[in-house]
Structure 1
């Protein structure tokens, strides 16, 4: 696997001027995250999971929530982040952006200029029994629309919408197509070499991978990369975990786009927009590999960083407010890896480099 520790070291060096606290696997910075983002190296983070001010809620206790007079001003500000996120996110990366239901449509259209939206998740925000929050207190007769007791999470990946071909082909497919053409090899020849014939056409599984219809397994990618590199016309190909976007769910975890994770009940020192650990961990575990770097540009009290550390990931958390930086630093630096949530590291093609080429081509 690409050395994520080296990636974090480069980020640490780039953000040295803003670091408020740190340990081997986490960095907490203080200051304007948009300014700090510009210093991050290209393709240096694997997952962006962030919760910017919603703007539409106009909460006085959330810094930045009342900073924009018009919706357009807010969207222009978010677009500056999107441009930087696209630059720093690895090809295999995922972006999650929390937002209000009132702004989600406009935000998705804006973000689609830089990424390909692949889901809009509805978090229903249920409360624990005996605690209804504002839903229980507010005067229902005063409502002029449905009470907004949910939040949206926009999920994005690299890519764009366009023609049918551009829509189907993923960044992975574009990369494989380019490598195969550079190697001067036809789909049919490559399919014969790796023995992955598929059931669709003579191009076999290779045609499906390049078209974005499905993705290779780590073992299949090993064979494909080894075959292409053996031509001498292609340099070392990207590691699997830098190329293939993870999406790791099953029947035993939440796999739909409607989530019922319990809201964080008020307590002394709670951040007004704090998200539940089990939801953050679900997102991180599903959309990153062990050891990956998770970036949160609006870290608040550091919940994303804590979830990342508990799952054996690395984190970069940026926060403007000094008081929240102090709590985030305390929470993250004291977080421990939770063994019950650890997964085996996925295989990538470098772990198979000792395969003899003649055995591959038999």
Structure 2
């Protein structure tokens, strides 16, 4: 089914909810995301980029940040969300989840039950040249630990299969090969993908989940296995539906330290707003044009704006009435500029 129909089918499940459509490619839904996400069918979302309450920061102006009495309460709630994230993500989908440095390791412990943790990105939050943030003016002598001037972004993909890295594609490739009685060595010979380090070749690396094939390599795999599939029993999916997208180049932030400037304080700024260029970096790397991007804690709508810039469709969930309305207005102006 084409993405447009999938997108509209997803949104049709929210008819009883308060929803705004700033344009045909963006939808903002008001409510508790843990309840709302249950209305999204399985495996329809390509990418989740989201910024939940941090809990450790205890900011009263951020909904949910002071809602949990203990870390365990917060982590149990996040684990419920993670279970839903995995359910709605496509098999080759990815997640970027913002969190504080204090909660990072505890969240990773919970997330690793269902997800492969591929990276933890440190966002250094530099200020725009000439602008001194408030923390630069604070009295340093009052500190009793290192000041948390950075934030973390946990980058992860769903776990599937029983291979080394629980890779969905790795498990599928091994299943196809065994079904067609093609050896790993034989597939390596046919595709010519020997690998430079592992003498078993790229095929064994893909099946273990150590790596993912390029588009050209996947075409070779499909061609080789299709030739062996005399009865046509396997319907090989398109590259975009099985291979996890990860597309970076030298113009992008490609290490696990990101230096995107913080959003400068301004009247009406969301207290946890993330810079659009940072979000674009994640979305461009880990999705394809036309994909559906989900943000379960959308705030002022920055993730949706970044998605629109990159020609993706977005679904935003926001519990606060103020930000629900303001983000819809923001996206309306973005769409007028773009289209």
TM, length-normalised to structure 2: 0.91
What residue is the counterpart of 1:244 in the other structure? 243
State the shift of 1:233 in Å. Answer: 5.2
Q: Distance in 2 between matches of 1:76 and 1:204?
A: 41
Q: Distance in 1 between matches of 2:281 and 2:20?
A: 26
Q: Secondary structure at the match of 1:223?
A: helix
- Contact kept? 1:312, 1:337, Cα under 8 Å: no
Q: Decide which moves more: 213-222 or 237-246.
A: 213-222
State the shift of 1:99 in Å. Answer: 0.6
Number of aligned residue pairs: 335
- Contact kept? 1:311, 1:338, Cα under 8 Å: no
Where does the alignment leave 5 or more consecutive residues of structure 2 unmatched? none
Q: Secondary structure at the match of 1:166?
A: coil
What residue is the counterpart of 2:110 in the other structure? 110
Q: Distance in 2 between matches of 1:203 and 1:50?
A: 39
State the shift of 1:59 in Å. Answer: 0.7
Q: Distance in 2 between matches of 1:198 and 1:143?
A: 51
The 3 A distance-change label for structure 1 pair 95 and 201 is closer
State the shift of 1:203 in Å. Answer: 5.8
The 3 A distance-change label for structure 1 pair 258 and 192 is closer
Is residue 2:333 matched to residue 1:334? yes
Q: Decide which moves more: 90-99 or 136-145.
A: 136-145
State the shift of 1:287 in Å. Answer: 1.1
The 3 A distance-change label for structure 1 pair 110 and 169 is closer
What residue is the counterpart of 1:172 in the other structure? 169
4+ residue runs of structure 1 moved beyond 3 angstroms? 188-205, 336-339
The 3 A distance-change label for structure 1 pair 112 and 268 is same
Q: Secondary structure at the match of 1:245?
A: coil
- Contact kept? 2:160, 2:166, Cα under 8 Å: no
State the shift of 1:126 in Å. Answer: 1.1
- Contact kept? 2:116, 2:166, Cα under 8 Å: no
The 3 A distance-change label for structure 1 pair 235 and 337 is farther
Q: Distance in 2 between matches of 1:41 and 1:306?
A: 24
What residue is the counterpart of 1:142 in the other structure? 142
Q: Distance in 2 between matches of 1:103 and 1:213?
A: 27
Q: Distance in 2 between matches of 1:169 and 1:49?
A: 22
* 1:30-179 equivalence runs, <5 A: 30-159=30-159, 166-168=163-165, 170-179=167-176
Q: Distance in 2 between matches of 1:57 and 1:213?
A: 36
1:28-83 Cα deviation digits (max 9, x unpaired):
10001110111111111111100001111111111111101111111111011000
- Contact kept? 2:212, 2:244, Cα under 8 Å: no
Q: Distance in 2 between matches of 1:304 and 1:67?
A: 24
Q: Distance in 2 between matches of 1:338 and 1:214?
A: 39
State the shift of 1:193 in Å. Answer: 4.4
